[in-house]
Amino acid sequence: NTKKITDTKFPFPYVQLIVALLLLHSVLTPLVVSACVDSLVLAPVLCFVPIFGAHALNFISIELEDPFGEDDNDLPLAHFQAEMNNCLLMLLHPGTDLIPSVGSQCILDFDALYDTVHISGEGGHDVRANVKLFDPEFTLRASRSFR
């Protein structure tokens, strides 16, 4: 993924358009505000805030466009690599590839398991009568009847 980020840049005409529109915005905003606002305190504020915000967003996008390096806003690549190395080392551990098995005390017989758990249905009747073994023909017939 870092290779994609490195290779994919903003198209140069798009960057040129943003810079040209920021320049146009910086020139036209004071002209429009001075024509519309008579206050000597409010006019500079209404000029400064939107122009500053637009330029700040542009500089933030420039900073985010290149996340690799040693700046404060760059990605911590050394930390990412250390985490990846730890994950790879965990895969080399001998206990990583263990397959679970059934214990020697497990109960495989349904009736014995039923007697151990003591399940009863509503009204105290025997639930074992409701349990049906898997029948592929029944499943096939049931799926055809719903078509």
Residue-wise pLDDT for 85-130, tens only, equals 988 888 887 777 777 788 888 888 877 877 777 655 555 566 556 6
Indicate the residue among 77, 97, 124 that finishes a domain: 77
Mean pLDDT of 61-67: 83
> Does a structural domain hold residue 94?
no
Residue where a domain stops, chosen among 52, 77, 102: 77
- Quick one: pLDDT at residue 10? 73
> Positive or negative CA dihedral for 60, 61, 65, 67?
positive
Identify whether residues 136 and 69 lie together within a single domain. Answer: no
Provide the residue range defining the domain that includes 31: 2-77
Confidence of residue 134 (pLDDT cuts 50, 70, 90): low
User: Over 60: is that where the pLDDT of 145 sits?
Assistant: no
Mean pLDDT, the chain, whole residue set? 80
Query: Contact, 29 vs 47, CB < 8 A?
Result: yes
**Whether residues 6 and 71 fall in one domain:** yes
Using one digit for the tens of pLDDT, what is the confidence trace for 1-17? 777 777 777 788 888 99
| Same domain? 60 vs 16 | yes
Q: Which residues, at least 6 apart from 77, have a Cβ–Cβ distance to it below 8 Å?
A: 2, 68
Among 29-33, 62-66, 103-107, 130-134, name the one with the lowest average pLDDT. Answer: 130-134
Is residue 102, in this structure, part of any structural domain at all?
no
Number of domains in the chain: 2
In a domain, 22, yes or no: yes
Q: Both 57 and 118 in a single domain?
A: no
Whole-structure pTM value: 0.51
| Cα–Cα dist 89/120, whole Å | 49
pLDDT band at 144 (very low <50, low <70, confident <90, very high): low
62 and 15 co-located in one domain:
yes
Measured CA to CA, the distance from residue 10 to residue 15 in angstroms comes to 7
Residue 84 falls inside a structural domain = no
